[in-house]
């Protein structure tokens, strides 16, 4: 399969070329030249098909000709060696728990899959790659864990100082080895700007083999379509076929993965783009012009994005038809007060505890159901374990949250990070010094 830039001004490339580059030379994001039609696969999915098999079947068309099928299967089996769970919380609303991986966040899916593909590529070509990652929260910890000690790969993680949770910071700054954490004096959008600028810097391109593990990378995006199909198949077993997916959204890679699954042929009634006060995309979906804004700090920090990179991919999937995109996706945005209220209300009524991001997705699903006569079943993507935001949640429910065993080691380890300004020249000098 060939991949093209969303701007249309770069040459077509292979999957591995797109993965290595991260960003196209013209500054666009890579997308499949043609979306495979898998409608017959979705229609005939065996009831007993597990997630690893779904991942293999969906990734095979994209990797055809670049990896042998037994390698694709091995990558899927190794990357997704943890469970996911679909739970019915109240009538009509289900939660798809995507936080049972090693860093307790949905980003483990993309990071682990991508790390294993980079490992395959490095073993074939014998070249060292430097991965640059901007994170507003869980991406950093997932990438750090997924790429830790992967041969031929160094990772630089940029995160905004004081704007990620203490646990998230520990998870990405305590590994060392081939993982370098850089603490930027700014906001997430500054981190993302530095990474994007590095990719189009001719001098860095000559001197370093750069790539990205953010959701701008097609290899991170692809596996984010897999779990939509898993939820679809699980509910199909019970006779439910009309679904609405409510997606907590920041950089919009997660939602783009769902839209990709739909365009490949999965039956979905609607998607809900659920955000915090950073509501650029919900504003667009209500009819406004898409206008990036400075990000606003909230308690759902992984969604504090004022200029979401994957919006161009959403437009690309819909051939730049705003009307078609708005027909499939509805936007919702909520304040911190509403988020806390939802966490408290759902916990008191059902005993189910959710992180601030999941709570925003849940509130959007509940609002959608109450505002429409179409009683479609809703699936909320639960993006992170509540313990990762215990400093926010514990005062809301007036209870302590037990820390899972796998997080204790991170909390007790020493932080290793490099403080840096948000100036590009400082970042470039740091990269060149570490060559």
Which residues are marked as active site?
Answer: 107
Exposed, middle or buried: residue 49 (CB in 10 Å: 0-12, 13-18, 19+)? middle
Could you identify the residue written with the tokens 């004096």? 185
What is the C-alpha to C-alpha distance for residues 259 and 137, in angstroms, rounded to an integer? 23
Residue located via tokens 């990036």:
292
Place of tokens 């009819």: 287
SS (H, E, C) 211-248: EECCCCCHHHHHHHHHHHHHHHHHHHCCCCCCEEEEEE
Two tokens at 396?
A: 């809301």
Contacts of 202 (CB under 8 A, 6+ apart): none
Compute the chain's Rg from CA coordinates: 20
**Is residue 153 within a helix (H) or strand (E), and if so which, with residue range?**
strand 153-160
Q: How far apart are CA 214 and CA 250, in angstroms?
A: 12
Distance, C-alpha 386 to centroid of its chain: 17
Residue 211 and residue 131 in contact, taking contact as beta carbons nearer than 8 Å: yes
Cα(329)–Cα(260) distance, integer angstroms:
13
Asked whether 183 and 159 are in contact (CB, 8 A), the reply is yes
Structure tokens given for 27: 């500054």
Q: Taking a C-beta distance cutoff of 8 angstroms, is the pair 251, 214 a contact?
A: yes
Mapped onto helix, strand or coil, the DSSP state of residue 183 is: strand
Residue that is written with structure tokens 């097609």 in the block? 218
Nearest-angstrom CA–CA distance, 62 and 35: 9
Please report how the helices 69-79 and 51-63 are oriented relative to each other, as an axis angle in degrees rounded to 10: 140
Q: Taking the C-alpha atoms of 191, 218, 51 and 57 in order, what is their torsion angle to the nearest 10 degrees?
A: 180
Provide DSSP, 261-315: HHHHT---SEEEEEESS--HHHHHHTT-----------SSGGG--SS-TTHHHHH
């Amino acid at each position: 399969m060939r991949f093209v830039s969303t701007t249309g001004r770069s040459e077509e490339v292979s999957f591995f070329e797109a993965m290595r580059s991260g960003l196209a030379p013209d500054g666009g994001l890579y997308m499949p030249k043609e979306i495979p039609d898998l409608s017959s696969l979705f229609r005939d999915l065996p009831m007993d098909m597990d997630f690893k098999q779904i991942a293999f079947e969906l990734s095979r068309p994209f990797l055809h000709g670049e990896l042998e099928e037994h390698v694709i299967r091995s990558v899927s089996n190794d990357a997704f060696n943890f469970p996911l769970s679909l739970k019915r919380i109240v009538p009509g609303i289900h939660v798809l728990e995507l936080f049972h991986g090693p860093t307790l966040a949905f980003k483990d899916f993309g990071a682990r899959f991508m790390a294993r593909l980079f490992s395959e590529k490095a073993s074939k070509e014998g070249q060292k790659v430097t991965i640059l990652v901007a994170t507003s929260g869980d991406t950093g910890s997932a990438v750090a864990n997924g790429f830790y000690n992967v041969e031929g790969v160094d990772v630089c993680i940029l995160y905004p100082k004081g704007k990620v949770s203490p646990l998230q910071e520990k998870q990405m700054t305590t590994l060392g080895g081939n993982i370098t954490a850089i603490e930027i004096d700014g906001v997430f959008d500054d981190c993302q700007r530095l990474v994007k600028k590095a990719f189009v810097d001719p001098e860095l391109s000559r001197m370093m083999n750069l790539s990205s593990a953010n959701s701008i990378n097609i290899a991170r995006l692809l596996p984010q379509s897999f779990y939509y199909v898993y939820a679809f198949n699980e509910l199909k077993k019970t006779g439910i076929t009309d679904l609405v997916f409510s997606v907590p959204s920041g950089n919009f890679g997660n939602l783009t993965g769902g839209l990709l699954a739909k365009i490949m042929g999965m039956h979905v009634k609607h998607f809900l783009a659920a955000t915090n006060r950073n509501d650029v995309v919900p504003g667009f979906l209500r009819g406004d012009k898409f206008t990036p804004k400075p990000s606003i700090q909230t308690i759902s920090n992984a969604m504090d994005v004022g200029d979401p990179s994957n919006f161009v991919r959403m437009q690309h999937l819909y051939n730049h038809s705003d009307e078609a995109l708005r027909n499939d996706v509805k936007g919702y945005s909520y304040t911190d007060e509403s988020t806390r209220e939802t966490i408290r209300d759902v916990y008191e009524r059902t005993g189910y505890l959710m992180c601030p991001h999941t709570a925003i997705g849940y509130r959007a699903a509940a609002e959608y159901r109450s505002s429409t006569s179409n009683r479609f079943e809703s699936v909320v993507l639960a993006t992170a374990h509540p313990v990762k935001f215990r400093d926010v949640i514990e005062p809301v429910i007036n209870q302590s949250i037990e820390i899972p065993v796998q997080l204790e080691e991170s909390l007790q380890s020493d932080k290793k990070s490099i403080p840096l300004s948000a100036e590009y020249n400082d970042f470039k000098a740091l990269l060149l010094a570490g060559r």
